[in-house]
Each structure stands twice: as C-alpha cells, then as structure tokens.
Amino acid sequence: MSSPHDYAPHDYAMTVDHLEVEFDTYGGTVHAVRDVSFGLRRGKTLAIVGESGCGKSVTVQALMGLIPMPPGRITRGSAKLGDTELIGLRERTLNRIRGNRIGMIFQDPMTSLNPTMRIGDQIVETLRVHRGMSIREGFKEAERLLDRVRISEAQERARQYPFEFSGGMLQRVMIAVALACSPEVLIADEPTTALDVTIQAQILDLMQALQREEGMSIILITHDLGVVARMADDVAVMYAGQIVETGSVEAIFHRGGHPYTLGLRRATPSNAPGRAQQLEPIAGSPPDLFHPPAGCGYFARCPHAMRICERRMPEPFELTEVSGRADEIRHRARCWLQHAQAPRTEGVNQNDAGREVS
C-alpha cells in the first residue's frame, strides 16, 4: 500500500516502503514482489496472509538479506528496522543484525537445523557470535532457553541431536534459537505448517506468551486464516506480489473490502452455526508474474471485475473503521469497488457508491 504508516515513526519497529523484488530465470524475469509497503507496530503482530506463491516469504527474505543475488535482485524500495536501513547493507553488517535484532523461525524445522550438531551447540553458536559468551556460559543459557520454550529435561535435551526430537519439539528449538538474543522483531514464516492441530495451538500460545514477556514485534507469514484470527493485531492481505488490503484483524475478518479477502474467508473451514460445510474455492489461477497485469492482479478471477480493473491498479481507498478505536490501524483496500461511482456489491464492505465505473 502506498501510505501504510498511520503513527509516528517511533511507534514502528519496522517499516517497508515500495519494495520490489525480481528474479532472472531462463523463462524471463519474475516480478515476485511489486510495490509492497507496510508498517510493523511495536509490540504488535502483523500477519501477512495469502495463498502460496503470492510473495509473502520472498518479501521477508528480502528484508533479511536472504535472497540469492543473482538470480534475485531488489530493484526498488526501503526497509527500516527502527532507524537502520536494511536494503543495501553489507553482508558483515547484516550478520550483526540477523539473529540479534531480528530473529526468524523458518517453515521447516526438520531442514533448518544442522543434523550433525547437538541442539545445545546450535543455540550456543548464536550466543557466542552475538553475545560473546563462552561455550560453558552459552550451554547454560541454551538449557535455560530450552526450558523457557517448555522443553522438559532441558539439560539432557540440549545434548541430543535433531533426529531425537519430534516436529513440535524442533519448532520449539527454532523459537529458542530465534529468541536467544532477545530480538526486537521476530519473523515467523509458516511456523505451524508441518504440525498437527494440537501442537499448532501449543506453539501459537507459546509465541504469544513470549511476545508479552519480551515486548517483541512479530511478522507472521501464513495462509491459514485461523492462525491469523488467533495471533494477529494487524493484517496485510497479499496477492500476486502486491498488498491489496490492510487493516486490523477485526476489520479484515468482519468488513473485508477486497474480493480476494472475501474469497479467502469463504475458502476457510468453519464450525460456526449456519455456515455451509462445503468450502468455496477461488476459481482460476494467479496471473503470470513474468508479465504482470497492468491493472489488478485479481481481475481474471474476480466475480465483480469491471473494465477499469484490467487497465489500472487503483491507489488504496480508505474504508470506514470497524470500532473507531485509536489503537487500530486504518483499513485500506486497493479495489475499484471502493470508488464512489462503483456499483454496490454484496458481501464486500464498500464506501458510499454511486454510478458504475466503466
């Protein structure tokens, strides 16, 4: 979104402005992230939600300097951690920030940990690099961190290898590694994807408890709206490399202003009384990002598309706030249905409408 920041700069742990990321391939240039802007408020959780391939993970990897260059490149944009500009930093400087001021939980703990190293040694590595601890001091701290993420018999577990842990326990280890240096920002990239429902709930509860204790800000990458409803304060809905709607979690769930947001909600299982048990999938496929559309990327799949949607991508429209609370971020949607002359559309929250846009 082009104007994501509703508060003073000191209210944000991280701000991203007009970020664009491309990849050169044999088939051409993939425009993976297109003009993405958002703000992460201090002590809050921002969920970036969208279907697979929409650019969520690439966005946060670009912030962390984890995109291989080549074939990738950041062609435009700014990303600030507090007052520190992240884009364009040298690798040595980024290494002092990653794992220290920014922690990251990766999608698959099975492949993110070194299978040849003891669990405690992998936590000690972070503590030695960023906090200057000795091996003995680091191992004591590793045991404390494992206990803190609710791994029983931490002293014994620290001396074991990853293959001796279950998937849920490995995810707790990843959280311990990410929290080792008390980061300002924690990025959780699909942290519960490979876990069963019971363990998912435990991991989410753990992350919320640690956030309250540490005062961290969290960026949560997910396609699971159930996780979003449970964890998020603010939400950014991403489609085809662009953020198409932002708002508080209440606004996104109860007064979504973009048809894609509505489609995601309808495709989510629910046990609410009166809701149909059959899911409603979103018809069609995302656009080809080798040749991104000039207008809205959702045009070909949108049941409410108008001619202008194919030709021009709108600037964000302000929507009516749900509760009017001062601590809510503004609700914005990049959709022509929010134009004053757009037709009324059932199910999509709209501003006052008038004549049809052609």
SS3 of 194-261: CCCHHHHHHHHHHHHHHHHHHCCEEEEEECCHHHHHHHCCEEEEEECCEEEEEEEHHHHHHCCCCHHH
Burial degree of 199 (CB within 10 A; 0-12, 13-18, 19+)? middle
Q: What is the mean pLDDT of residues 326-341?
A: 83
Pairwise CA distance, residues 180 & 138, whole Å: 10
Fold of 9-101+181-338: Rossmann fold (3.40.50)
- Using CA atoms, how far residue 129 sits from 4, 76, 102, 112, in Å, is 35, 31, 14, 18
Q: What is the pLDDT of residues 202-219, one digit of tens each?
A: 888 888 888 988 889 999
Q: What is the mean pLDDT of residues 174-194?
A: 86
Pairwise CA distance, residues 24 & 4, whole Å: 29
Lowest mean pLDDT among 2-6, 177-181, 227-231: 2-6
Say whether pLDDT at 274 is over 80. no
Task: Please report the pLDDT score of residue 1 as a whole number.
Answer: 52
Q: What is the mean pLDDT of residues 71-89?
A: 92
Q: What is the mean pLDDT of residues 269-294?
A: 79
Pairwise CA distance, residues 219 & 179, whole Å: 14
Pairwise CA distance, residues 183 & 82, whole Å: 12
Task: Please report the pLDDT score of residue 308 as a whole number.
Answer: 92
Q: What is the mean pLDDT of residues 81-101?
A: 90
Mean of all residue pLDDT scores within the chain: 85
Provide φ and ψ at 195, rounded to 5°.
Answer: -110, 155
Pairwise CA distance, residues 192 & 226, whole Å: 11
CB of 36 within 8 A of CB of 55? yes
Say whether pLDDT at 272 is over 70. no
Task: Please report the pLDDT score of residue 6 as a whole number.
Answer: 65
Q: What is the pLDDT of residues 232-244, one digit of tens each?
A: 999 999 999 999 9
Q: What is the pLDDT of residues 49-58, one digit of tens each?
A: 998 889 999 9
Domain range list for the chain: 9-101+181-338, 112-180
Predicted confidence band of residue 118 (pLDDT cuts 50, 70, 90): very high
Task: Please report the pLDDT score of residue 351 as a whole number.
Answer: 63
